Structure 1
Amino acid sequence: MRCPYCQSLDTQVKDSRPAEDGNAIRRRRVCPDCGGRFTTFERVQLRDLVVAKKSGRKVPFDRDKLMRSFDIALRKRNVEPERIERAVSGIVRQLESSGETEISSDSIGELVMEALKSLDDVAYVRFASVYRNFREARDFQEILGQLKDGDEAE
């Protein structure tokens, strides 16, 4: 692993432990050249996924981008980071185990909406407003009506 400080290729692992409910390994590393300390996470990747955008462009799947989407929707909301990590890991696992190597951005967006709905209603509405390109107040009323109907069904 390359040192992020001095770019040396010779770093040493000082400590390893499970992270993210056992879905990753957290490694504390030290660089013998500059003494810099940093943490890395190692995750199992079943296959390389490609995201098919609405424009037809294809880009490699980026777990960090998925996490940023959650972070933006959940900004200033009181949701534990562990629950967010579990939701993101669940989506990634679902995508990897689907058997498909090419996934549409629409299907990823639907999975994110489903996960956000179970985490936080406000984040769900925030994400939906961008994802579904809300243009007027009626769009918000419809999604809020769906949330209300879902609450009454429980």
Structure 2
Amino acid sequence: MRCPFCGNIDTQVKDSRPTEDNSAIRRRRQCPECGARFTTFERVQLRELTVVKKSGKREPFDRDKLERSVMIALRKRPVEPERVERMVNGLVRRLESLGENDVAVDLIGEMVMEALEQLDPVAYVRFASVYKDFREARDFEKFVGQLGSRVGMPTSWRAAKADD
């Protein structure tokens, strides 16, 4: 493993242990050249996934990009990082177990929305606003209204809505 600080190609593993959900191996490494310490994660990859965009463009699936988009939706929300990690790991496993190397971006978006709906309703609406390309406040209102009627809108929301 190359040292990210000095570029030395020979680093030493000081400690290895599985992550909490056993989905990866966490390794603490040290560079003998500059003495810097850093952490790497080793994950099992069942298949090479390719994301097929709406335009037809194809690009390699990037787990980190998926995790970043979920974290943006969850910004300043009271959700533990371990729950996010489990959710992302579960999404990746589901995608890999589909049996297809090509995965439509729409399928990934729907799977993320489904997972976020269970994890945090505010993050779900935030993600949906980008994924469904909301243009106006009415788009939010319509979406939240559908959500409220589907899962039972809290009483305080119903009272506020009745005042409108």
Per the shorter chain, which TM-score range? over 0.9
Identify the residue that residue 45 of structure 1 maps to in structure 2: 45
**How far did residue 20 of structure 1 move?**
4.2
Give the AA of the match of 1:2. Answer: R
Q: What SS does the corresponding residue of 2:22 show, helix, strand or coil?
A: coil
Contact 1:16/1:25 (<8 A) preserved: yes
Identify the residue that residue 72 of structure 2 maps to in structure 1: 72
Partner Cα distance (2:143, 2:9) in 1: 51
Identify the residue that residue 156 of structure 2 maps to in structure 1: none
For normalisation by structure 1, the TM-score amounts to 0.95
Contact 1:67/1:88 (<8 A) preserved: yes
For normalisation by structure 2, the TM-score amounts to 0.89
Give the AA of the match of 1:7. Answer: G
Contact 1:113/1:124 (<8 A) preserved: yes
Partner Cα distance (2:146, 2:109) in 1: 17
**How far did residue 100 of structure 1 move?**
0.4
Contact 1:26/1:40 (<8 A) preserved: yes
How many residue pairs match? The answer is: 153
Q: Structure 1 vs Structure 2: percent identity of aligned residues?
A: 69
The structure with higher relative contact order (CA 8 Å, sep 6+) is 1
1:135-150 aligned within 5 A = 135-150=135-150
Identify the residue that residue 130 of structure 2 maps to in structure 1: 130
C-alpha deviations, 1:84-104, integer Å up to 9, x for none?
111100100000111000001
Partner Cα distance (1:54, 1:94) in 2: 21
C-alpha deviations, 1:4-30, integer Å up to 9, x for none?
011111111000011140000000001
Give the AA of the match of 1:3. Answer: C
1:81-96 aligned within 5 A = 81-96=81-96
**How far did residue 135 of structure 1 move?**
1.9
The RMSD of aligned alpha carbons is 1.3
Q: What SS does the corresponding residue of 1:126 show, helix, strand or coil?
A: helix
- Gapped runs of 5+ residues in structure 1? none
Q: What SS does the corresponding residue of 1:27 show, helix, strand or coil?
A: strand
Identify the residue that residue 54 of structure 1 maps to in structure 2: 54
Partner Cα distance (1:135, 1:35) in 2: 51
